[in-house]
Structure 1
């Protein structure tokens, strides 16, 4: 077993002029933020940022046609009861799905399946064992408000299924 190493004895350190150094450091630190603020103000004035339009006249540039971008549509969370819980177990949050509505067989109304929501993002999926006795499972989708309304209506009159996109 090696012998333990001890800390050798040494005289305490005494720093001279500490008070002056502290004052000098504080003065320097006041200068740095002031310099940064001055540079930022100069850069904003040179680029013609907000509020500087009246101060700096800018030459008019020829109009450049921008590609049309649709406005961002706010999304809402829509809980959807999917008829097949086994299909829901395949989903993960972030997946994109199409929701398909098939008329209930007990209504007696013959109809074809239709796509209610296309490319909906899965927000939440049920944990293992959180399914209904009839085999359905609840999934939360992020969709536009109008699509959420269509999903709610279709869920009342049809059985819903999902396909992965």
Structure 2
């Protein structure tokens, strides 16, 4: 099938140019469309959403299990030794009030050891009796993991027993009382934690 040619020429887009001739073109005949199955477009997007949703659920379940395990282990570690766990159906023990920390000045027998300490260090304070009882000098730990708050400079004066150096420890109030009492009757030493 062909189109009839036009009687008037097509005007050129360029000014001053001659008009363009009209050329008749042949149009191909229509052919049949072969049968094919219908296409389903857009289903991959739903699959991707479903996969992402499943992964989110898996991650959320993993985080919930981890939080439950941490809570269970923390609750188990809070019970003091020798205290039974609460039975099922009973009210849990209340948390203890926070321990009030105080600064306790302690005279350590070995001044050279005190010179090694810096604020922020953790030390164990050990007491040994000045005069051994029955030939035995049993040392005992008075404070574990006490934080060194300050190491005052030596002013040239020595301790009452002729030696030692002062260190200020941050300890609970009850431990400060024990340290003050032991300092009068025992020689104190520290070990770095």
Instruction: Give the secondary structure class of the aligned counterpart of 1:105.
Output: coil
Taking structure 1 as reference, are residues 117 and 129 closer, same or farther at Cα in structure 2, changes over 3 Å only?
same
Structure-2-length-normalised TM-score = 0.47
Asked whether the equivalents of residues 83 and 137 of structure 1 are also in contact (C-alpha less than 8 Å), the reply is: yes
Asked whether the equivalents of residues 128 and 188 of structure 2 are also in contact (C-alpha less than 8 Å), the reply is: yes
Instruction: Give the secondary structure class of the aligned counterpart of 2:137.
Output: coil
Match of residue 186, structure 2, among 158, 162, 165? 158
Deviation at 1:75, TM superposition (A): 0.5
CA distance in 2, matches of 1:121, 1:131: 25
Structure-1-length-normalised TM-score = 0.54
Taking structure 1 as reference, are residues 107 and 132 closer, same or farther at Cα in structure 2, changes over 3 Å only?
farther
- CA-based RMSD of the aligned residues comes to 2.5
Taking structure 1 as reference, are residues 128 and 79 closer, same or farther at Cα in structure 2, changes over 3 Å only?
closer
Count of equivalent residues: 102
CA distance in 2, matches of 1:141, 1:158: 18
In the TM superposition, structure 1's runs of 4+ consecutive aligned residues that sit over 2 Å from their partners are: 64-72, 105-111, 128-131
Between structure 1 and structure 2, the one with the greater Rg is: 2
CA distance in 1, matches of 2:134, 2:118: 34
* Aligned counterpart, 1:41: none
Gap runs ≥5 in structure 1? 1-63
Gap runs ≥5 in structure 2? 1-66, 79-94
Mapping for residues 1-165 of structure 1, pairs under 5 Å: 66=71, 67-68=74-75, 71=96, 72-105=98-131, 110-130=136-156, 132=158, 134-165=162-193
Q: Larger relative CO (CA 8 A, sep 6+): 1 or 2? A: 1
Asked whether the equivalents of residues 103 and 110 of structure 1 are also in contact (C-alpha less than 8 Å), the reply is: no
